[in-house]
Structure 1
Amino acid sequence: MTAAEVLDLARARGVMIATAESCTGGLISGRLTDIAGSSDVVERGFVTYSNAAKIEMLGIRPETLEAHGAVSEEIAAEMAQGALARSQAGLAVSVTGIAGPGGSEHKPEGRVCFGIADAWGVRTETIEFGAIGRAEVRAATVDHALRLLTAALRG
């Protein structure tokens, strides 16, 4: 699914999109806004690389961070819900992960947690891209986020 196709689906549904990004550092909103005219459906993007930014900008609960860590479906859910609540968007996608290099036994390189939120709730999933390299993990994350937006818009 291309960014242009996501934008066309959003236009057809009359839905504004927000992004909440950690490991991609704004690449999802960048991909969407690379396309001229995207401002009619891209409402805003939050780049919340640090935990403090996640708390301040998206309202992530410190107790969720403490219990699950930043790379978790729980945080991805709160990020997506926070982006939705702090924007005029009707659909929000979030990503938080370990792009690499590095990682740990419990949170390996290439693990990315996704959230997608709309008026009907939030859904999450974790994808293990593996230790394929930082740029490749980030690119794969953007592509998967676009697929999630597509699926949500096709509803």
Structure 2
Amino acid sequence: MIKAVLIINTQGKPRLTKFYDIMTVEKQQELIRSVFGVLCSRADNVSNFMEADSIFGPGSRLVYKHYATLYFVFVFDSSENELAMLDLIQVFVETLDKCFRNVCEFDAVFNYSKLHTILDGIIFEGQVLETSSAEVIRAVEEISKCSPSLPPSCVCTFILYFLQ
């Protein structure tokens, strides 16, 4: 199961956070600070995979990719494959690139709800829902046609409907 998806800029500011385990906001902030502390201290030539037991508990793994000024981070347990998670980050970034024409930090700040909609099209409740960038984009476009400002509960229902 995927435990969390984070997008953090190079100064440590979270641009998107999605935790699939219930925890307090204070605990989430502490985890984000811990993850960023580890990421910014790692050399560029080391693996993008790491144990996250000390941060997220036993059996936790972390995979990340650094694009321009953003770290894309997935935290997951031992039931997920590390390479599949790395590929899922790539699918997420490719989908964002197609939606925003080369996604950047400003897109994450000013299109926060669209980022969450895209993420919900790929991962739902900690489980991988869709790995096709084209299918996720199609679902997001259909949702946008229905209503530009749907409440989050409706968005999840629409995503599940359009991805079937």
With the length of structure 1 as denominator, give the TM-score of the two structures.
Answer: 0.39
Q: Which structure has the greater CA radius of gyration?
A: 2
Q: By percentage of residues, which structure has more helix?
A: 2
With the length of structure 2 as denominator, give the TM-score of the two structures.
Answer: 0.38
Q: Which has the higher contact order (CA 8 A, sep 6+)?
A: 1
